[in-house]
Amino acid sequence: MSDLHDIVIPDPNCLSAASQEAKAEAVGLGKATNSLSRVLVLALMAGMQIGMGALFMTVVKSDAALSFGAAQLLCGLSFGLGLICVIVAGSELFTGNSLMVIGAMSKKFSWGSLAKNWVIVWLGNLVGSLVLVAIIYACGTWSMNGGAVGDTMVAVATSKINLSWGTIFFRGIMCNILVCLAVWMGFAGKSVIDKIFTSVFPVMAFVACGFEHCVANMFFLPMGLVAYNNGFGASVAAAADVLNLSGIVYNISAATLGNIVGGAVFVGLVYWFVYRKKAEK
């Protein structure tokens, strides 16, 4: 009896899932063999781009007149700016690079190369996020909406740190399942519009549901700390006691590990197992 995949008619406007898997291997190989300097610069850019989406989201969230549902929906839509920039511009994002496990499993490059890429990209994303925090500090963006943007920066940061470590970890898993599904589906597209469209809804979902993205938090948390130290967030002053370097490390450590599990295991390894095995028949 024919395998289901054998009877599917290929869509000329969209890659098949098996072709997506092959493309993921090729993309991963390119990332693993790129020069350290290029990877670092592209990672820095991705950190800034995700931070721009996070800032956009913060400005939207500062409108207290929005109902909960409308706020979550609009925050998710505005945050999508970050991943759209990463996917279309070709930056190096730690969470998306979880899909490199596909190439490593197919022995296109070593696990050591994968680990090296992840470390460099994670650090580059962090540096890019902190560069953006410094720029936004100079912009004085927190004064918008009568200072409500600054208050929201503090409120968002403290709400993330005040979660239990396990909650952050599992929210990190859910976040990167959605992010890596967006990247995976983007591999199927053949145009810029395809890539944008496939990224919008997964990102909207993870933001609206309050999941944790380690690179976004590299912006949210330092930005909240800087805003708090500049007099914002008086309404959450008691909660803001946790807003310090220790609290930032606490959150980002859990989110990072959760993101790895969500992207590498629940998306990367699953689709490698299903579609790589088919390609080897």
pLDDT at 10: 56
Is this model's pTM higher than 0.85 or not? yes
Is 262 buried (19+), middle (13-18) or exposed (0-12) by CB count in 10 A? buried
Q: What is the pLDDT of residues 88-135, one digit of tens each?
A: 999 999 999 999 999 999 999 999 999 999 999 999 999 999 999 999
Residue 277 has pLDDT above 80, yes or no: no
β-strand partners of 11: 14
Q: What is the pLDDT of residues 178-233, one digit of tens each?
A: 999 999 999 998 899 999 999 999 999 999 999 999 999 999 999 999 999 999 99
Q: Please, what are the domains in the chain?
A: 16-279 (1.20.1080.10)
By the 8 A CB rule, do 183 and 21 touch? no
| Gap between the Cα atoms of 14 and 19, Å rounded | 10
By the 8 A CB rule, do 212 and 173 touch? no
Q: What is the pLDDT of residues 56-77, one digit of tens each?
A: 999 999 999 999 999 999 999 9
